[in-house]
Structure 1
Amino acid sequence: MIKAITAVTPVASSETFDALGELLAALGFEPGKNWNDGTGRGAAFLAPLANLELVTGRQPAVPRLLIETTQLDQVHTTVEAWLQGRLRTEEVPAKISSVELTHWNSRLFTVKLDADLEVGFWQSENVLHGVPVALEGDLSAAGRKWAIVVARWNAVITDRLLQGSLDALLRSGAKKEDIEIVRVPGAWEVPSAARMLAESKRFAAIITLGVLLRGETAHYEAIYNEVSRGIGQSQQDTGVPHAFGVLTCETLEQALDRAGLKAGNKGFEAAIAAIEMASIQQKLAARQPEPAEQTA
């Protein structure tokens, strides 16, 4: 039933009112509905998440107006640049503090807009702060079997992808004897082999690797669509996680970059995704209620 909550903060002067409005606009706050009835003005700013904190007794040693951020250092740079555009350079240090640690496991800096109005910007040092509790997979490949389907076509690329996948599995605890590698002629044949492996129910996940280059492949889009559809269909029909490591690139240079040269290794990433999804599937299955015993 509750839609929103608004805290009204009085501002002493029109100059400070305008300055605060400009600062919040510079930081990307979504403007709300303003008003002006001749006796006063109001400016609303909307935030994706807000808190109302009530205090009695000892007042905390923080500004009354606190804005939580996720990139505090970047915000500090933005605010400092905004001040430099309004003030002389030598006046800026007196208006903005440096980013400092607090006793409440956060970092904070403040901006003084006038004698009565100070704004604080802060970021929690707790990486789980504000993050909803979620079921996540573990990155342990130990004790389960894994299958890798890799295309031979463009082996200079696919061999690199294969090495990346093996690296990820072995680093995550898998044993060599628990990894089965199946080589197929090209990307077109990957879904069929992946399907047969998945239907055997011997593997925690299937990792699919290949590469399609637009300049070398006739009907590039049609082949890619069928390969991706086939892998996805196999995953849905068998219930076994499939990790998609088939590169689709314009040039050989782009493929090399994505196979470990410059932009990470897609084979490694696919194997990590397979490990995580296999773990999630195992955890979700463990949460399923036991089927009720049938009575005669």
Structure 2
Amino acid sequence: MIKGITLVRAVPSSDVFDQLSSLLSALGFEPGKGWDDSTGRGSAFLAPMGNLELVTGRAPAVPETLIEVTQLDHVHAAVQRWMAAHLRSEDAAARLSPVAETHWNSRLFTVQLSADAKDTIGFWQSENPLHGQHPAVEGDLSAVGMKFAIVTTRWNTVITDRLLQGSIDCLTRSGAKMADIQIVRVPGAWEVPNAARTLAESKKFDAIVTLGCLLRGETAHYEAIYNEVARGIGQSQQDTGVPHAFGVLTCETLEQALDRAGLKAGNKGFEAASAAIEMVSIQRKLKVAE
């Protein structure tokens, strides 16, 4: 089995060797095992992905050494700073090219470390947002035809009502009908897992959204309640196979809870409902793939 690829490149002088090693180290390459003896020196620089490209029929349009990066403009600025510190200003300006578009849907810039063109390195970034990503099954955010149950609490309704409104907003915006959304109110967070499990076991719903709010300052057994609520909701999901979205807030203060219920940090009820939609979609896709 092929494990990796190593390209060994000779450089013309110790000065170029030191410059190249310094530049690659400054850019964050992981150092590999090097060597230094009476015959010369070697340095290894490790990257998470390797590639070997063969060309025939015409000369390659890119330097022999190509380094793929993210955030190409930031890398260009980092290389520019390094060159300003290690080369004369007139040399640095001549040897560093600007970032330019290529004909292969990418952007590229080059660095020439000596008068020899072979000592040119290219840095590039693909303009394809899916480039290099592994194929994966992902959920869609359409709730059309899905049925949901929302379990919320009467305790801390100043918070949970905001979470509930956020959940309903997300579901209906995503295509769910109000007739397909069952809302269940329980006394407090402690009772949420029991109601969620009953709803899940009925097999009438594609997903359960659980909402609640626990404030540390209101109860001395805050951790004990939270741990059991989280465990109960998780256990219900595992046992029934019905996705349960977790929207139970655990906050130090009422102000923190208000922030997470729509004031400053988004609405966690909306986010929980969004996760529920996506998990239903993923489940359906996985079952079709079987």
Please state how far the C-alpha of 1:266 moved relative to its aligned partner.
1.4
Secondary structure in structure 1 of the residue aligned to 2:279: helix
Quote the sequence identity (%): 74
The separation in 1 between residues aligned to 2:104 and 2:261, in whole angstroms, is 44
Q: Which of 230, 244, 249 is matched with 2:246 structurally? A: 244
SS in 1 for 2:176: coil
Counterparts of 1:97 and 1:257 in 2: how far apart (Å)?
47
Q: 2:149 aligns with which of 128, 142, 147?
A: 147
Query: How far is the alpha carbon of 1:255 from its aligned partner?
Result: 2.0
Deviations along 1:35-87, one digit per CA (max 9) or x if unpaired, are 11222111001111111111222123211111111222222222222223324
The separation in 2 between residues aligned to 1:262 and 1:62, in whole angstroms, is 48
Cα 1:34/1:286, change in 2 over 3 Å: same
Task: Report how far residue 88 of structure 1 moved.
Answer: 5.1
Query: Which SS does the other structure have where 1:51 is aligned?
Result: coil
Task: State whether structure 2 residue 21 is matched by structure 1 residue 21.
Answer: yes
Name the residue aligned to 1:263.
Answer: 265
2:113 corresponds to? 113
Equivalent-residue separation in structure 2 for 1:245 and 1:45 (angstroms)? 45
Gaps of 5+ in 2: none
Which of 237, 254, 278 is equivalent to 2:280?
A: 278
Report the CA distance between 1:90 and its aligned residue.
Answer: 5.8
Aligned to 1:198: 200
Q: What 5-or-longer segments of structure 1 have no aligned partner?
A: 289-296
Q: Deviations over 1:130-179 (max 9, x none)?
A: 11211111111001111111122222222222222122111211111111
More displaced, 77-86 or 98-107? Answer: 77-86
Matched AA of 1:246: V
- Normalised TM-score (structure 1): 0.92
The AA in structure 2 aligned to 1:100 is A
In the aligned structure 1, how far is the partner of 2:228 from the partner of 2:102? 55
Corresponding residue SS for 2:113: strand
Superposition deviation, residue 277 in structure 1? 0.6
Amino acid at match of 1:286: V
The corresponding residue for 2:214 is: 212
1:36 corresponding residue in structure 2: 36
SS at match of 2:125: strand
| Shift in alpha-carbon separation, 1:93–1:158, aligned structure 2, 3 A | farther
- Give 2:134's aligned residue: 132
Deviations 1:252-294, CA, capped at 9 Å, x for gaps:
2222222222222211111111111101111222233xxxxxx
Counterparts in 2 of 1:186 and 1:99: CA distance versus 1, 3 Å? farther
Aligned length: 288
Assess, with a 3 A threshold, how the Cα gap between structure 1 residues 249 and 93 changes in structure 2: closer, same or farther: farther
Question: CA 1:29 to 1:275, structure 2 compared with 1: closer, same or farther past 3 Å?
Answer: same
* Structure 2 equivalent of residue 235 of structure 1: 237
Paired residue secondary structure (1:215) = helix
Task: Report the counterpart of residue 291 of structure 1 in structure 2.
Answer: none
Q: What is the aligned partner in structure 2 of residue 293 from structure 1? A: none
The 1:234–1:20 alpha-carbon spacing in structure 2 relative to 1, beyond 3 Å, is: same
Residue 8 of structure 1: aligned partner: 8
